[in-house]
Amino acid sequence: MKQTTKNVGKFAAVALISATVAGVTSYSLRPEERETTSFCEQFPKSTQITPAIFGNSTAGVMDLTKAAEASVNAVVHIKSTQLGKVQTVQEPMDLFDFFFGNPHGGRQRQVQTQPRVGFGSGVIISTDGYIVTNNHVIEGADEISVKLNDSREFVGRIIGTDPNTDLALVKIESEDELPTIPIGDSDALKIGEWVLAVGNPFNLTSTVTAGIVSAKARKLDVYGNSGIESFIQTDAAINQGNSGGALVNANGELVGINSVLSSPTGSYVGYGFAIPTSIMTKVVTDLKEYGTVQRALLGISGRDLNIHFDDEMKKKAEELGVNEGVWVAEVVEGSAASAADIQADDVITGIDNKTIKTMAELQEELAKHRPGDKVKVKLIRDKKEKTVSVELKNAQGNTKVVKNVDMDLLGAAFKELPDDLKRQLNLGYGLQVTGVTDGKMKDAGIRKGVILLKANNEPLRKVTDLEDVLKSASQSPEQVLFITGIMPSGKRVNFAVDLSQED
């Protein structure tokens, strides 16, 4: 479970409203650990309890045994292994290098890294073996092992990942139908409602803890500007290894994927946070259908108009004539908001039939949509209520389906630059094109033998470096790889590789 370092008493502005979220939890493939303070005193809990189908209340005690029985068998243990790799290490320059002309530093040597193993949880959502987990649980993994509650083990295959939501979809193959948890409506959750956190925090069979929903649409600022945060906050005990596990209501329905732990020690103290199924369902559907998430963007920057915590916002609210909502600080040119005549200093108070009080609520609502969807945005302008129709767009500023881009699109093969060629050309790194077929690189004029040094200003030391830049560029509005290279003759060359695809 990721530990956040932020105090969430105030909610910060985000750069753009996106239709995805990102969650992060601690994981052995991501060794850094962070600390936070307990949120116990900041967010008082309600004690309201909603009736449950499985809940038999005796002397005021909620019976959650049937809900637990209905969910434990569908929560799995995930082991992901990153195999050891050979890496090139640049040693510091010494006097020999200085006097005998190695401008790129000292000598290079090959280092074998050790395998790295991480553990997490996952939730089976279909009888044919689709499993939802956190992206960071399987990120960078070369091998994935899935262990069921009955101790059966399977090899996991990644169907799709979305770092901006910290969600991933994994598939296992079984001759038998697998146990599942029915997906519930996280929007229907109420503050004070009983929930169960189910996972494998200590590499055991499924473990269950109970608590209540402490808050909804909670924003922690743990994912930066690239993601949407609208967490379900619960006081059910969540520990490391619960990443990707299930948050279940008293009816035994999945309402969230456990993602973030608030703790000063790395173990449970205070609260846990889960990605709601309202976001998970759409992300998983996109990953299954397209291999990547279809992100709908509104195209604004702004912040909560929260008069309780901010004197500046209190003055702004008096000027605008509204006490709560999302204040629009800026509208991105060419965006969906711009086309719909949403303006700076508007206050968004609703989308379709959903009341919007915070940025997190706005992000969660948009996360349910795809580019091309039309929504009704209710706003306050000049102290008057106004409703505008908005056609949501993607990051490229249109409504086309964004396709999953992989290295096959480039139509080329690559290898790391051999040491002898590095010495001949006086280069510290590079990728050599070993073959070109029909594809984007051929269209850009790249031929066999060309040495690629940088793509979009990022050094290319390994083939995986190019994969990372390609993935990032394919999601950008420009959808272009700007490549700097060199011919074997030493001639410098530049290329622009168009990554856009026809429908």
Domain ranges of the chain: 1-8+18-293, 300-391, 407-498
Can 28 be counted among the known catalytic residues? no
Mean pLDDT to the nearest integer, 104-114: 66
Please report, rounded to a whole number, the percentage of residues in the chain having pLDDT higher than 90: 49
- Integer angstrom CA distances of residue 295 from 227, 268, 446: 11, 33, 31
- For the entire predicted model, the pTM comes to 0.74
Domain 300-391 belongs to what topology? Pdz3 Domain (2.30.42)
Please report, rounded to a whole number, the percentage of residues in the chain having pLDDT higher than 70: 78
Q: Which of 121, 243, 262, 474 is catalytic?
A: 243
418: tokens are: 């051999």
Mean pLDDT to the nearest integer, 19-32: 37
Q: Which of 18, 136, 206, 474 is catalytic?
A: 136
Mean pLDDT to the nearest integer, 167-181: 96
CATH of domain 1-8+18-293: 2.40.10.120
pLDDT category of residue 180 using cuts at 50, 70 and 90: very high
Can 262 be counted among the known catalytic residues? no
**Alpha-carbon torsion angle 348, 353, 357, 362, nearest 10:** -70
Can 472 be counted among the known catalytic residues? no
pLDDT category of residue 163 using cuts at 50, 70 and 90: confident
State how beta strands 431-436 and 451-455 pair: antiparallel
Gap between the Cα atoms of 247 and 250, Å rounded: 10
Q: Do the domains spanning 300-391 and 407-498 agree at the CATH topology level?
A: yes
The pLDDT of residue 474 is 81
- 390, 378 in Cβ contact below 8 A? no
Q: Which residue has the tokens 């146990």?
A: 179
Q: Which of 18, 80, 145, 166 is catalytic?
A: 166
Closest to 449 (Cα-Cα) out of 423, 413, 499, 419: 413
DSSP string, 206-220: -EEEEEEEEEEEE--
Residue 40: how many other CB atoms lie within 10 Å: 14
pLDDT tens sequence across 218-258: 887 766 666 778 899 999 888 778 889 999 999 999 999 99
- Integer angstrom CA distances of residue 362 from 28, 52, 109, 207, 223: 33, 29, 51, 33, 16
- 426, 492 in Cβ contact below 8 A? no
Q: 407-498: which CATH architecture?
A: Roll (2.30)
The pLDDT of residue 242 is 85
